[in-house]
Structure 1
Amino acid sequence: MSHLEENLRALAARHPRLAAEIDAAAPLPSPLEPTPAGDPTVTADGVLLHSRHDPRREAARWAEAQRERLGERVDATAVVLGLGLGYHLEALAAAWPGPIVVVELDRALWRTALAARDLRAVLARVAVAEEPLTEEAIDAWGVPVVLPHAPSVLRGHGLRALGESIAGRAALRGLRLRILVVSPLAGGSHPIAGYCARALADLGHAVRLLDLSPFARGMEAIPCFTARRGARGAVEQAYMRFLGSGVLAAVEAEKPDLVLALAQAPLDAAVLAEIGRRGVLRAFWFVEDHRLLTYWQSVIAEYDYFFAIQQGAFLEEAARGSAARVAYLPCAADPAVHRPLALTAAERAELGAPLAFVGAGYRNRRIAFRPLLDLGLKIWGTEWAGAGQVETAVQRDGARISTEDAVRIFNATRVNLNLHSSTYVDGVDPRGDFVNPRTFELAAAGAFQLVDRRALLPPLLRPDQEVATFTDAAELHDLVRHYLAHPEERAWLAAAGRSRVLAEHTYRQRMQRLLETVAARDHERLGSRPREETVDDAAEREGDTPLGALLRRLAPATPFTLHGVVQGLLHRTGDLSDPEAILLFLHQFDELYVREQRA
């Protein structure tokens, strides 16, 4: 029996699904290389995974260094990033008596390793992290200590991000952060700020959304001062500096652990530097196309964390331009907003259509939608003036559509069009990579959509299995007619897309990933900052007293302040107890007579 067969049998005893996947996989394309002692090594993706001279000795040195990191903690689990050919796992198992888990995502590497060496002893001693790696699995490891096998991580394949997630989740346990979310004045990233704030609060953190939309009118009114572009630009810059001063005032008042800014939030390099001098971590989620909006280059150096919806050379350039941790973080949906709705007959009559699009009238959309007018097309949104014959399909005279109405339209429409915007192509952008928020929002609403194929779409939603796609605007007419005639296909694609989005692509999941990235690198800094006492802390101290009993009825992460406790009480139903009534009275007295003096 070969090494592969024996190892697969041993692996199948504990991880049958993984063993079956490896058995079906192809090996790495690169051949094994013999070392002087006869032990094999291999190069994968241009990275030599083990020494060409003595891989066992190299592994022993690695294990000795990791053993020092693990110390004598009895609750620790060694989480090794990368399987390689198993030498380092054998050495660690010999040096460390505690539990060991290996994380390896590449099935080709697994097959190559299991065919190269007898790893049955390792497979009996070491657990394998199953995919998808759940929060419950990480929690079951107690205190995970992430041990990267450097060559494996250097290959890529998601090991670095997964290691950050594991370390960050462990660091976040019991840590309730104070977070200030800064919105832009307007634009597509403005509602995302609200979704992020809600998700962070749902995760148990103290969050304030600094909604700057009331200041959008001021920016819109600046042309009233002058028609000269240069002079107008100077006034706009002064207005942005004024808003930056306001953000600093909010930072001073809130004393957050983290400031999260969304794309186009009015934070210039000077304001960000001042936030950093106050000991606050700064994160930026750039939910824009870097090719169109390049202002990120002037501020990235002042951020500690930079998240983007694009990958590849752009992220590499961003990493070179800053000491910030740079990471990919795609858009998402908020299931509390983007959801299936039961519409009234009147709503369906007004908002329903065989075919509809919600969004702005970019050049490529004006051109691509012309041949679709005979299919009952309705267009909702702004910036469609001058679109020629397409303008006849525009509803409500091109008024802005609220988020609530947009979700109603998604639900009322049989085929929702989703063509990513472009100002320089006539239809589908051949360079299109990022996936817009609308893709996830439509899916979460259980609505059927036709979306243009994007380079980063397949890992997020499987084309034509979880979302219907097109690659050329010329396809649209025939595709729309096909799906209008096949409601059963629309239904199963919409259901599959919704299931995937709810499982993997919500703002709660994105914010969890963001915080894990922050906590993995800055857990000591965050842990050393003064913490706000929660009702859970106070209830434990109070024991069986009436106050302790009252506090135990509230969410554990509720701040143990008069305002925090009262807000928790207001969300409860039923009659008030005497202690609850007393707290509400004290809170009202504080608001009416004391708070102004204290301020």
Structure 2
Amino acid sequence: MDKLREKNLELLKKCSPKIFDKIKDFDTKDPVIEIFNNNLFCKRGGVLLHSKYNPVKESSNQVEAFLLKNNESKEIIVYGAALFYHIFQFIERDITTHIIISDLELFNESLSHIDLKTIVEKSKLYLHNEDFTELKGLPIFEHKVSIKVDNEKYEQFKLRLTLRKDSLKKYKILLVGPVYGGSLPIFYYCKSALEKLGHNLITLDNSIHKKSYDSISKTSENPYYQKKVMPEFVNILAEQVLITALEERVDIVLGIAQSPMTVNILERLKNSNIVTAFWFVEDFRTLEYWKGIAHKFDNFFTIQKEPFFSELKSLGAKNVHYLPMAADPEIHKTIEVDKEEIKRYGSTLSFIGAGYYNRRRFFTTLMDQDFKIWGDGWGNGSVLKPHFQENQRRVSSEECVKIFNSSKINLNLHSSSYTEGVNPTGDFVNPRTFEIAATGRVQFVDERSLLGELFDKDEIITFKDEESLKALIDQFKNNEEKFHLISKKSKKRVLKDHTYINRMREMISIIEATSETLQSKNSVVGNREALITGALEKGENELADFYRSVKGENVEVADIENYLSGKKVSDYSETDKILKIMTDFYQFAKRKNIV
């Protein structure tokens, strides 16, 4: 390691630990920074980030124009560090800068070329997807080329800048689940999380219709009748969504993948001013039903990014957001397993999941291992048959946790219908990754392009092919403690960042930030400071104290409702009673469409 990079890493470790953790093990595979006339320059996406000939003058002019436009601001956000020319200009003018690092690979390489001491001492560095609550209202200097290179990250940053840490209002939400399938447990995890967040939740658990679905499927093997009858069944379930939403006067209808949501129903919900959202927890390349409905939702959440985002937007989908999978710590946790459970569920190596093509091929290389395979869809003629458990039955979420805790190594190979083993272009991270991690047990997972955004390298153990997996298994047998330490870090990360409560909090905040319908319902009572002054002038000290407790520039009806929800009616003060009358009148006026 060169001395400048080493020095910069030490600075980052002290002042920007999140960024340090991200780049400490980065490899600079293909250097892009060059030197011309003693100036650093580079291209990203085929475009120069700064002038090749006089980057200092160029940056000075850009900064002067920005400050002129923003009334000589003394604290700003800078989006896009590039090679820091513009940032040094701000620092020279004694301006506090909050720097959003949009290109980690370039930032990592720049550590060997640029001394960050002044920057780290006088600025604060952020990743593009952090919580930016404290930065709201600050002017933004946009490094145009950085944005052009990766506009998706910039749009994500702008959205996060508008989000609250938690929604002020507790919404009335209709959560719609699928009839069956892998997304059904996720429906239950979302239900639990939304309830814990305090929202008024109504659920449609369509798993009660599974027998009817199976009966209709078996009515005839004729494809014509299947295509005719099944859509009618789905339409009936979708009508139930509409009826429930209207009768319950919900604010939001949230569908989980495979839930019965039709174009007709979505249009009618929109006409009724009900906000709709969908969490597509599927591989868009495998299941393509999104093509017919995604553009009708107000918000469409995915577990993949590009090229999925571009395809969705080309169909007319407007608010498209990446929302990765998660774990439920109340279900996915470390548990004690007795001898009988270890005998039944335990093995050196275990796998839970359906028999996709790549798994059937890949696992033949592990037949010499103490290896148990759980799950269905593996077929009866496979050479892997000795490893199949309990007649290939589906395994419940509770049993999955017992298997995780009973196994020495939990193998996690993402599904693919067309590759021989590890998918070299695999992107989404499956639920199993988070679920195993949450138990604190050892997991070996195949490499995924989006995995590095979710776990640091020392928090997850990955393999890229049969050889690297076998090498990991041999290393585990020789040094189990090393892998247990990594698994503990993995668990800590999941509990901090990757629970369904995290996901639902973020989802509702995004829906709230992007919905004019919801924003219009969050009626503003008045400016917080003005209300405090007015209350004090009238001697209403209790009311002034309430206004002070509100976070944000304005006091909204939702603030009052949340404040009162924490009190018993019998304990209401005179001020509380007046506030309750205000909220009741507002809700009455809303029902009558007066406000």
The one of 409, 414, 419 equivalent to 1:415 is 409
CA contact 1:145–1:167 (8 Å) conserved in 2? no
2:80 to 79, 82, 86: 82
Say whether 1:164 aligns with 2:159: yes
Moved more, 488-497 or 225-234: 488-497
2:251 touches 2:275 (CA, 8 Å); kept in 1?
yes
1:486 aligns with 2:518: no
- CA displacement 1:491-549 (0-9 Å, x = unmatched): 12322322232233222233333334334433x5422115799xxxxxx9x999xxx9x
Equivalent residue number for residue 346 of structure 2 = 352
Closer, same or farther: CA 448–469 of 1 in aligned 2, 3 Å: same
State the distance in 2 between where 1:518 and 1:145 align. 24
Contact 1:63 1:88 in 2 (8 A): no
**2:488 corresponding residue in structure 1:** 495
Provide the residue aligned with 2:32 in structure 1: 29
**TM-fit CA distance, 1:87:** 7.9
Written as runs of structure 1 = structure 2, the 5 A alignment for 1:453-468 is 453-462=447-456, 465-468=458-461
Aligned to 1:528: 520
Task: Determine the C-alpha separation between the residues in 2 that align with 1:60 and 1:300.
Answer: 44
Inter-partner Cα distance in structure 2 for 1:201 and 1:559: 20
Paired residues of 1:59 and 1:87 also in contact (CA < 8 A)? no
Q: Distance in 2 between matches of 1:477 and 1:543?
A: 69
Q: Secondary structure at the match of 2:163?
A: helix
Aligned AA for 1:250?
T
1:66 and 1:476 map into 2 onto residues whose CA distance is: 55
What secondary structure does 2:372 align onto? Answer: strand
Paired residue for 1:381, among 375, 378, 381? 375
TM-score by length of 1: 0.73
Deviation at 1:489, TM superposition (A): 3.2
SS in 1 for 2:211: helix
How far apart, CA to CA, are the structure 1 residues paired with 2:19 and 2:281?
Answer: 39
How many Å separate the matches in 2 of 1:254 and 1:532?
24
**1:189-231 Cα distance to aligned partner (Å, 9 max, x none):** 1211222233333344333333221122211111343221111
> Of 312, 319, 342, which aligns to 2:336?
342
Equivalences for residues 273-422 of structure 1 within 5 A:
273-422=267-416
- RMSD of aligned Cα (Å): 4.7
Amino acid at match of 1:102: I
Secondary structure of 1:266 counterpart: coil
Identify the residue that residue 512 of structure 1 maps to in structure 2. Answer: 505
CA 1:384–1:83: 2 relative to 1, 3 Å = closer
Report the Cα distance in structure 2 between the residues aligned to 1:19 and 1:397, rounded to whole angstroms. Answer: 48
Equivalent in the alignment of 2:591: none
User: C-alpha deviations, 1:139-171, integer Å up to 9, x for none?
Assistant: 44575566644443333283432332132127x
Q: CA deviation at 1:300?
A: 1.6
> Equivalent residue for 2:98?
101
Q: Is the 8 A contact 1:80 1:102 kept in 2?
A: yes
Conserved 8 A contact 1:168-1:518? no
Partner residue of 2:173 out of 169, 179, 184? 179
- Percent identity over the alignment? 30
Query: How much does 1:421 deviate?
Result: 2.1
Residue in structure 2 matching 1:247, options 229, 235, 241: 241
For residues 541 and 16 of structure 2, what CA distance do their matches in structure 1 show? 47
Q: Alignment partner for residue 434 of structure 2, among 436, 440, 448?
A: 440
Q: Decide whether aligned partners of structure 1 residues 476 and 265 sit closer, same or farther in structure 2, where only a CA change above 3 A counts.
A: same
Secondary structure of 1:264's aligned partner = coil
Deviation of 1:86 after TM superposition, in Å, equals 6.8
- How many angstroms apart in 2 are the aligned matches of 1:160 and 1:216? 40
Task: Report the CA distance between 1:482 and its aligned residue.
Answer: 4.5
State the 1:281 CA deviation: 2.6
Give the secondary-structure state (helix, strand or coil) at the position aligned to 1:293: coil
Q: CA offsets, 1:400-428, max 9 Å, x none?
A: 21101110111011122222223334433
Residues 203 and 508, structure 1, Cα contact 8 Å, conserved in 2: yes
Gap runs ≥5 in structure 1: 71-75, 534-539, 549-556, 570-576, 581-599
Counterpart AA for 2:349: L
Q: Is the 8 A contact 1:259 1:280 kept in 2?
A: yes
- CA contact 2:194–2:501 (8 Å) conserved in 1: yes
Task: Say whether the 8 Å CA contact 1:286–1:308 is kept in structure 2.
Answer: yes
CA contact (8 A) 2:413 2:446 kept: yes
Aligned partners of 1:480, 1:86: CA distance in 2, in Å? 44
Say if 1:63 and 1:217 are closer, same or farther in 2 by CA, change over 3 A.
farther
Following superposition of structure 1 onto structure 2, how do residues 569-584 of structure 1 map, counting pairs within 5 Å?
none
Task: Report the equivalent of 1:234.
Answer: 228
Letter in 2 for 1:498: K
1:452 offset after TM fit, Å? 2.3
Deviates more, 1:155-164 or 1:429-438: 155-164
Does the 8 A contact of 1:340 with 1:445 survive in 2? yes
Change beyond 3 A, Cα 1:101–1:460: closer
Q: Is the 8 A contact 1:432 1:455 kept in 2?
A: yes
Which shows bigger deviation, 401-410 or 40-49?
40-49
Please state how far the C-alpha of 1:277 moved relative to its aligned partner: 1.9
Per-residue displacement from partner, 1:422-445 (whole Å, max 9, x unpaired)? 333443333322221111111111
The residue identity in structure 2 corresponding to 1:363 is Y
- Partners of 1:412 and 1:510 lie apart in 2 by 28
CA contact (8 A) 2:175 2:255 kept: yes
Q: Match for 1:208 among 194, 199, 202?
A: 202
In the alignment, is the contact (CA less than 8 A) between 1:85 and 1:117 conserved in 2?
A: no
Aligned partners of 2:263 and 2:293 also within 8 Å: yes
Of stretches 212-221 and 467-476 in structure 1, the one that deviates more from structure 2 is: 467-476
- Taking a change above 3 Å as real, the CA distance of residues 207 and 46 of structure 1, as seen in their structure-2 partners, is farther
Quote the offset at 1:323 in angstroms: 3.8
Structure 2 CA distance, aligned partners of 1:353 and 1:439?
Answer: 19
The 5 Å alignment of 1:123-142 reads: 127-130=123-126, 135=131, 138-141=132-135
Task: Give the secondary structure class of the aligned counterpart of 1:300.
Answer: helix
Deviation at 1:560, TM superposition (A): 6.5
Structure 1 residue 295: Cα displacement: 1.2
Go from structure 1 to structure 2 and tell me whether the alpha carbon gap of 1:58 and 1:238 turns closer, same or farther (over 3 Å shift). same
Deviation at 1:578, TM superposition (A): 9.0
Within 1, Cα distance between the matches of 2:489 and 2:356? Answer: 30
In 2, Cα distance between equivalents of 1:462 and 1:169: 26
Question: Counterpart of 2:316 in 1: which secondary structure?
Answer: coil
Q: How many residue pairs are counted as aligned between the two chains?
A: 532
**Shift in Å, 1:56:** 4.7
Cα separation, 2, equivalents of 1:149 and 1:339: 44
Q: Which letter maps to 1:188? A: G
Structure 1 Cα separation of the partners of residues 115 and 334 of structure 2: 52
